[in-house]
């Protein structure tokens, strides 16, 4: 084994939270939302946000170095990344997802040594019931959670619309689809599709609110709908395709199998189940994001990520004929299971 030339990788990893907190601060302060409306000098930003004069320039220039801001002379502007994903007026806005990481996940990871010893998830610590019991009891938390889940729809809506052959599909249901942004984005991308979001009753008002925003003058509101229920106990909508996106990683293996089996039972012959998550490579040595996400899921809900082979195995056990895995992006893998005719 050759010796590493430098400890720089360790330093970069150990100080990675510097960048995360710089990003979070910009969202919490409202800086990115402001800078997306018009450029501003350091002095203007300092006055508008009440920042300390000795810190403002270093902070703004750090954001420039991180490619979150651009700078022309003394004037700061939104970078292309920020203008696309950190402008609340844009359809690709990711601020809710990033704020969720700051509010809920960052504090949890601060107690990683204790969690590794106890194995006690936040759900067990904070509530007696299911993860969703506490989440949906508080309307403010429900909205924050929906804002966060919209981030996954932004990340994966376009690749899912492009990498699966929707031309032959007339209808689909996003099981556990939160307030329905993925359903709306898929239906908007393919004008012949009818989509259903299936999730718990507290999310339905947020779906109704969002569809008005997403539809505009289009026929989208006529092609998407919300079906309230539990995918463990209630009948699933009659559609050609079911989607389980970032859902199986919320549950232990027994319940994952139950969900996949229910999908198989209720799909028509020739129907399809699409499953995507931040899956782990079968050798468990390359998918750093998936492995760390597995720890994350264990901390917040007592569940985990899973390997590609495990996901394929559950689908085959249920009776699906499984196609080759598809990389939706660098972070998520898609499994396609077809119910025999």
Query: What residues are labeled active site?
Result: 249
Give the integer Cα–Cα distance in Å for 219 and 222.
5
Helices (H), the chain: 8-14, 16-29, 31-35, 42-49, 53-65, 80-85, 95-100, 106-109, 112-118, 122-126, 131-137, 139-163, 181-189, 204-215, 220-223, 253-266, 288-301, 308-318
**Residue 93: phi, psi to the nearest 5?**
-60, 130
- Report which of 309, 288, 306, 284 is spatially closest to residue 297, judged by C-alpha positions: 306
What are the distances in angstroms from CA 318 to CA 175, 239, 258, 314? 17, 18, 9, 6
The sign of the dihedral angle between the CA atoms of 29, 301, 303, 257 is negative
Give the integer Cα–Cα distance in Å for 180 and 42.
39
Count CB neighbours of 130 within 10 A.
11
The sign of the dihedral angle between the CA atoms of 136, 194, 148, 88 is negative
| Residue 81, Cβ density class (10 Å: 0-12 exposed, 13-18 middle, ≥19 buried) | middle
């Amino acid at each position: 084994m050759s010796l590493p030339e430098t400890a720089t990788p360790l330093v970069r990893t150990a100080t990675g939270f510097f960048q995360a907190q710089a990003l979070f601060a910009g969202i919490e302060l409202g800086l990115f939302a402001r800078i997306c409306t018009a450029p501003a000098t350091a002095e203007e930003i300092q006055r508008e946000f009440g920042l300390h004069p000795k810190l403002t320039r270093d902070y703004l220039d750090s954001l420039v170095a991180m490619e979150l801001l651009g700078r022309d002379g003394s004037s700061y502007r939104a970078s292309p990344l920020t203008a696309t994903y950190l402008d609340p007026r844009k359809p690709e806005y990711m601020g809710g997802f990033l704020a969720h990481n700051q509010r809920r996940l960052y504090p949890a990871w601060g107690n990683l040594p204790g969690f590794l010893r106890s194995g006690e998830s936040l759900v067990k610590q904070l509530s007696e019931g299911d993860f969703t019991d506490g989440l949906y009891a508080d309307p403010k938390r429900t909205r924050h959670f929906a804002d966060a889940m919209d981030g996954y729809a932004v990340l994966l809506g376009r690749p899912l619309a492009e990498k699966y052959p929707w031309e032959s599909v007339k209808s689909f249901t996003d099981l556990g689809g939160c307030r329905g942004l993925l359903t709306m984005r898929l239906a908007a991308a393919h004008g012949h599709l009818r989509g259903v979001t299936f999730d718990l009753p507290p999310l339905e008002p947020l779906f109704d609110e969002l569809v008005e925003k997403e539809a505009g003058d289009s026929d989208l509101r006529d092609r998407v709908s919300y079906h309230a229920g539990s995918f463990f106990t209630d009948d699933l909508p009659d559609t050609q395709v079911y989607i389980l996106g970032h859902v199986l990683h919320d549950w232990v293996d027994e319940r994952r199998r139950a969900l996949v089996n229910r999908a198989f039972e209720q799909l028509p012959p020739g129907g399809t189940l699409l499953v995507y998550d931040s899956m782990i490579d079968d050798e468990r040595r390359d998918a750093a994001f998936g492995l760390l996400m597995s720890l994350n899921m264990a901390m917040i809900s007592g569940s985990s990520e899973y390997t590609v082979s495990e996901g394929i195995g559950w689908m085959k056990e249920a009776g699906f004929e499984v196609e080759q895995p598809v990389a939706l992006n660098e972070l998520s893998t898609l499994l396609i299971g077809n119910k025999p005719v």
